[in-house]
Amino acid sequence: MSIAVVGHISSIEAHDLGLVSADGARLPVGMASGTMDVDDLRVQSLRVSPPTRMRPDVVASLVRAGLPAPVHMLVPVRADAFATRRVIPHGWSYVQPWDDLARVEIECPVNVFACPPEMALMQMARGLGVAKTALLVDQVLGTYRACRPEAIESYGQIEGVSIESCTDDCGTATAYGLSPLTTIVRLSNYLDAMAGAPGARSVRRSLPLVADGLASPLEAQTYALAFCSRHTGSLGLPKPLVNHRVEVPIEARGCFGSAFIRPDFWWPEQRVALEVLGVRWHDGAQGIAQTSMREKGYYAMGASCITITEREIRMLSSFEAAMAVLAKLLGVKLRPPTKAFEKMRGQLRTEVLDVRPAR
């Protein structure tokens, strides 16, 4: 019996694009339940080499189904595999439960499966720093993804998803309106179960900087820089609720145009909101008008709202001035920085404010 396992960023894409069966894994005919080993499952059938070692029709089937090429596939660590324009191999021989895998529902000459998002994060985190890993994890925990250039068209065809192209020449884009693929609790439990697997430690170290339900890269950057432990270089402000549904009183609904809102960050006890103003939602005449009405709406519902722009986030003095105002509204004070903290803060900002999607 021969199978193929989609991994790394292609696994995330397979889940987002709806190529994975909702029923999860189903054992192929003739296979017993229990644990799976990559070698035993003959994933080496996907070696990137001549057809005697490689089934190019497998990759072709995945691409026809909408999975962007090059497709990232798992192979045994010892496999004689090389990357091509169509496929990128990743060595993986760690034993894990069979039901980790989910069937990819395509017409294909072999059984094709995708590894879980948690395992994909472990593969993608290898070689990344803590902060960059955290921003990678935030995407899978949240409702947006940084798309590699080859995936932009596929994501643009998902119902309810919108695409924002990168403003520089990197060729990437961000997809908004997706569903979270996991949670911090589920990811943490998975890392406990897979503690010895490659990448598990890297993802574990990033968890103090991540949050469930973030909806944009700017939200993720703001969260890491402001609301995490000072030991990481963050400001250590009280943690907010992220994109939490807040009921709007009747007198304020005219400003919001809705009976409820989802502030980017919300502190219910202090009734304080922080809105991150990205170009996507807040630029142009219409965006400025909507932002102005939302600020009036918060006032009408007896709450305070401060805003911060991408430019302010990137300028240290402006960012910390805005966070000082937020701290005052929350009834706390920012601690004066020590030399050790300034060093950690600089390292964190360098990583957090310069992130690119995995290729």
Amino acid 44: pLDDT: 31
Residue-wise pLDDT for 187-234, tens only, equals 999 999 888 888 999 999 999 999 999 999 999 999 999 999 999 999
Amino acid 171: pLDDT: 62
Measured distance CA(92)–CA(36) in Å, rounded: 12
Residue-wise pLDDT for 340-354, tens only, equals 999 999 999 999 998
Least confident among 4-13, 28-37, 118-127: 28-37
Measured distance CA(175)–CA(144) in Å, rounded: 5
Measured distance CA(5)–CA(7) in Å, rounded: 6
Residue-wise pLDDT for 61-94, tens only, equals 999 999 999 999 888 765 566 788 899 988 776 6
Question: Which of 106-143 are b and which e, b meaning 16 or more Cβ less than 10 Å from the residue's Cβ?
Answer: bebebbbbbbbbbbbbbbbbeebbbbbbbbbbbbbbbb
Amino acid 329: pLDDT: 97
Q: Are 308 and 222 in contact (CB under 8 A)?
A: yes
Instruction: Give CA 115 to chain center in angstroms.
Output: 16
Residue-wise pLDDT for 258-299, tens only, equals 899 999 999 999 999 999 997 655 455 566 677 788 889 999
Residue-wise pLDDT for 26-64, tens only, equals 433 333 444 433 333 333 333 322 222 447 888 899 999
